[in-house]
Structure 1
């Protein structure tokens, strides 16, 4: 079970995933050795990972939410084929175990990028149905963490971590927030390395990019300051009260969509809320303590939102991939 210090450390890493153990210790009022031990224990027992993620709009990409259905005998093979791809994240096995839901990132303007992916899948996966939903706007998730995983620090502690260079989760972008950046091959190598391990040492990042450690530090500071890269946490949500995981597909009248989505983003039970294309125009990811809590939320939480005209629930049976590459891609490095 997680105690107060564990939860505070998780919250702190949400704010600054690359804060040193010394910085974290100052905020948490413990020794750096205690922070180091807790961090290693959370990695081993709670599947904690810090990952660096590019802002898809600033780096010239767009995101699709795919729903794929396959034969029962081949659904897991299809899911693992998606896991192995570098352009996918959040690969879930849902429903009765024959549906796979995944997020796909494609270069901006690529014609039918999700269709190209389907042509690249093994012919033996037994694909029986496909729907692709363009993620148009996220109200909760990505830069904004699930409230139950980031509710342990006082406002003063949060300000101590934000410091003068970066504020909020992952840094406050400049006014050029949506101006696409020109990235070099070394920039992409840096982002790939941080997606594997958001706390990789500067020396390791230098080896991956071919830059000097000083250049890596300057470039990383710049990418964070302009919002092109931010840091997120992967952790087993069951330890934070999210044992039951459900995807919610909703239909809301367009005139009420922004109002409803913004309201749902304030619900403690939701970790992700986004506007999508398709027959359902709002998708959310619910995390509840147990099935009784889920029932209560569906009936007394979502059930009171009159603007939701249709609701489909899809229980998540397995999470095969989160935002970072599969941990089996390689052992995490030591960092401080």
Structure 2
């Protein structure tokens, strides 16, 4: 099977799927309903259509990933049973999930953006191997399946045996590897704007947890064995129940609640939402690398943070000093954004893009001590 046919069969390109089989469609009214197939880390699952309540739920979970369904329901004006049912539907289909993740700096860790070029027959198995690692996230196939991007997390003073690049498959089919240290996240830290536009300011305020007190950077936090078990469980399911977390840690439910609150207030962990942009009508995604004059780096970063097309962006080391993801409705909008949005930024001397053809792993389980 060639790369294009394999890619299409695995659902990596947008396909319009009728909500009923063709044979049934002929017998019913001529009106057709078109839906977007969702993908669960590269696999097509049952087609879904997000309505206004689904979008509000996704936005609410981005505001507070562990907000009780009763609180979300009260803010949205519906029942908690309806919210719970909607959430289970989206999560079971692989369309949405909440993850609880540690901040790298708080634990003395460093994030790296790894970019690999492979022969077409090697990209999928190498990406799958990377996705199985606990210290990787956002593993994506780019450029028609000949390039892999991922984030890997290491300890600041990692032993050589822990380094990802030392454990990559030694094969001539991996033709190039580069690694770039993530210096600072500059955009998308509160979620992609496409999924955070369903609630009004009053609803966001009603769902927002109490703001964490600003604390100056200090020594990395030392976590106990039970803390590590808690973070591991939250990385798999950020909405895991308190009884389940108590069973994982050996703590009481009260201790679990208190410890999560302490870690959130200390800016040690945060909660994020994995959701498919295609469900919001955005079907063109691309990785973006910008080469920016150092004097313009801050101004460009602030401008990107205000662009709704930017899903995430970070300042990195290397020839291109800003990397990010662009999410647009279609290729025409992607062209317009690159020509007008990026093209109008002073200080950008070079821009490189590569289409994302498959997301093999999202936020995922990140390394804990």
> What is the TM-score with the length of structure 1 in the denominator?
0.90
Kindly provide the CA deviation profile for residues 29-79 of structure 1, in whole angstroms up to 9, marking residues without a partner as x.
111111112212222446110000101100111100000112222121111
Cα distance in 2 for residues equivalent to 1:129 and 1:119 = 14
> Aligned to 1:123, what secondary structure does the other structure show?
coil
Aligned position for 2:104: 56
Shift of 1:158: 1.3
Q: How many residues align?
A: 318
Cα distance in 2 for residues equivalent to 1:92 and 1:178 = 34
Where structure 2 has 5 or more consecutive residues not aligned to the other structure, the ranges are 1-48
Aligned position for 1:225: 265
Indicate which of 132, 144, 151 corresponds to 2:179: 132
> Aligned to 1:180, what secondary structure does the other structure show?
coil
> Aligned to 2:239, what secondary structure does the other structure show?
coil
Aligned position for 2:30: none
Residues 174 and 225, structure 1, Cα contact 8 Å, conserved in 2: no
Aligned position for 2:19: none
Indicate which of 76, 88, 93 corresponds to 2:141: 93
User: Is the deviation greater in 293-302 or in 35-44?
Assistant: 35-44
Aligned position for 2:126: 78
Cα distance in 2 for residues equivalent to 1:264 and 1:178 = 29
> Aligned to 1:109, what secondary structure does the other structure show?
coil
> Aligned to 1:30, what secondary structure does the other structure show?
coil
Q: Where do 1:192-203 residues align within 5 Å?
A: 192-203=232-243
Q: Evaluate the alpha carbon distance shift between residue 269 and residue 307 of structure 1 in structure 2; reply closer, same or farther with a 3 A threshold.
A: same
RMSD of aligned C-alpha atoms?
1.8
> Aligned to 1:299, what secondary structure does the other structure show?
helix
Cα distance in 2 for residues equivalent to 1:178 and 1:278 = 27
Kindly provide the CA deviation profile for residues 161-181 of structure 1, in whole angstroms up to 9, marking residues without a partner as x.
125xx23xxxx3541455421
User: Is the deviation greater in 230-239 or in 38-47?
Assistant: 38-47
Q: Where do 1:1-336 residues align within 5 Å?
A: 1-45=49-93, 47-110=95-158, 116-124=163-171, 126-141=173-188, 143-163=189-209, 166-167=210-211, 172-325=212-365
Residues 131 and 360, structure 2, Cα contact 8 Å, conserved in 1: yes
User: Is the deviation greater in 178-187 or in 100-109?
Assistant: 178-187
Cα distance in 2 for residues equivalent to 1:323 and 1:225 = 21
Q: Evaluate the alpha carbon distance shift between residue 28 and residue 285 of structure 1 in structure 2; reply closer, same or farther with a 3 A threshold.
A: same
Max Rg structure = 2
Shift of 1:300: 1.4
